[in-house]
Amino acid sequence: MKNKTTEKLLNKIEARKAVVGVIGLGYVGLPLAIEFAKAGFPVTGFDLDEKKIRAVNTGRSYIKHIPPAAVQEISGREKCSATADFSILRKADCVVICVPTPLTSHQEPDMTYIEATVAVIARYLRSGQLIVLESTTYPGTTREIVRPPLEAKGLKAGKDFFLAFSPEREDPGNPTYSTSSIPKVVGGLNQASLAVARALYGAIVPETIPVSSPDAAEATKLLENIYRSINIALVNELKVVFEKMGVDIWEVINAASSKPFGYKPFYPGPGLGGHCIPIDPFYLTWRAREFDTPTRFIQLAGEINTAMPEMVIDRLAAALNDEEKSLKGSRILLLGVAYKKDVDDMRESPALRLIELLRERGAEVEYHDPYVPVLPRTRKYRYHLKSVALTPAKIRKSDAVLIATEHTRVNYSRIGENASLIVDTRNAMAAVSPVKARVVRA
């Protein structure tokens, strides 16, 4: 039977009177805050970035695939506001954590963002609140990292407050699926936690998928992305093998895609990008070591994908060598620095590694990306580069054009007409005809 604390929160959620607090207003948190506000919940977004706070409070979007109208619709004190004042967490009935979970320099989970966030929540935690972690992580995080600090002052998870994990499933720039159309996996610490978490998410998504525990929900997210990592590694390795055999990997993938069952196409590229796929496999392999269980298959996939930028640069160097040019001193125009096409998301983009490798080998690097006018600072890279105009003169002056991201807004016909050498990691030039440039796939 539901106790009074559970009933009270369920009633507030059903009446859309539960105050929702979203911590972290990035690619996961902002869409989530928008959907809760559109569903009628009063929403407060929490972030340390004053620019994001001002943008939300004035109805401006700072993420390309989220239109300004979406933020304008929910902006304002009555629907959704943003703040850096975390003491307001006391007023929230449901708190959703959407903070980064990167890797350390040793490829191990970096829990500092989660730990810092949970410490702040613990300071203002009160009876009757629901705390949900959405950040991708290893199985056991909710129980071992989130729960203990929250219980430190005497409140008990599952009884005095509710605790759950529900993995984010954002895919920036996906024209088919968005936050409100993707089913949500939910794992509660106990049945009461599961019930209130499902009620909350059920207000904004078409279906909630209950699992037996937060651990199972955490593992679900890892499975989804490790599945993609392994299959991308497969086609990246086949790309290298087939090239030596004189076989076009893109033609093979297109032919295999005609099979209506038992096959799903994945595509090669210059490396993995985005917050999840390059990182999630290492979360599981790290956790598996605690149980003395090897994950050789997963680790091998990670190694193959991580090695792709070096392979691309080697291919570029060989192509320049064929033209009696050295990579050192060559002018390289990099096309696309976002991690995938038609987004402005730079997280873990392989283009950043490509720039590093090019500079290490003495090349002069410029880039063009219609969605990234200035390369932002990242945890690892501090480049001082701005996107250059993609003029015929700029293309002609470059010794090679390296296509890292195939944005649809780029004029590939202009590139094919004016470049002397194109190294194409995305098969972007396949549909362009005629092409005067020499095109090398990598």
- The pLDDT profile of the chain, 442 residues, written as one tens digit per residue, is 468 899 999 999 999 999 999 999 999 999 999 999 999 999 999 999 999 999 999 999 999 889 999 999 888 656 899 999 999 999 999 999 999 998 887 888 999 999 999 999 999 999 999 999 999 999 999 999 999 999 999 999 999 999 999 999 988 888 888 899 999 999 999 999 999 999 999 999 999 999 999 999 999 999 999 999 999 999 999 999 999 999 999 999 999 999 999 999 999 999 988 777 778 888 888 899 889 998 999 989 988 999 999 999 999 999 999 999 999 999 999 999 999 999 998 888 999 999 999 999 999 999 999 999 999 888 788 898 999 999 999 999 999 999 999 999 999 999 999 999 999 999 999 999 989 999 999 9
pLDDT at 279: 82
The reply to whether 232 falls in a domain is: no
Length of the chain: 442
Using one digit for the tens of pLDDT, what is the confidence trace for 388-438?
999 999 999 999 999 999 999 999 999 999 999 999 999 999 999 989 999
pLDDT at 76: 67
Please confirm, yes or no, whether 94 is among the known catalytic residues: no
- Asked if residue 241 belongs to a domain, the reply is no
Closest alpha carbon to 348 in 432, 424, 286, 272:
272
Pick from 212, 234, 267: which residue ends a domain? Answer: 212
How much is the pTM?
0.91
**Is residue 259, in this structure, part of any structural domain at all?**
no
Q: Is residue 253 part of a domain?
A: no
Residue range(s) defining the domain that contains residue 381: 280-441
User: How many structural domains comprise the chain?
Assistant: 2
Catalytic residue among 80, 94, 98, 276: 276
Q: What does the pLDDT read at residue 1?
A: 47
Q: How far apart are CA 127 and CA 115, in angstroms?
A: 21
Q: Are residues 144 and 12 part of one domain?
A: yes
| Distance between CA atoms of residues 140 and 399, nearest Å | 51
Same domain for 314 and 206: no
- The verdict on 203 and 328 lying in the same domain is no
Residues 23 and 165 placed together within one structural domain of the fold: yes
pLDDT in tens, 340-373: 999 998 888 999 999 999 999 999 999 999 999 9
Q: CA dist 24 to 21, 52, 180, 184, 382, Å?
A: 10, 10, 18, 19, 23
User: 313 and 415 share a domain?
Assistant: yes
CA distances from 168 to 146, 178, 200, 201, 388 (A): 17, 11, 14, 12, 34
State the Cα–Cα distance between residues 43 and 22, nearest whole angstrom.
8
Q: In terms of domains, do 169 and 287 share one? A: no
Residue-wise pLDDT for 169-206, tens only, equals 988 888 888 899 999 999 999 999 999 999 999 999 99
Q: Is 435 inside a domain boundary?
A: yes
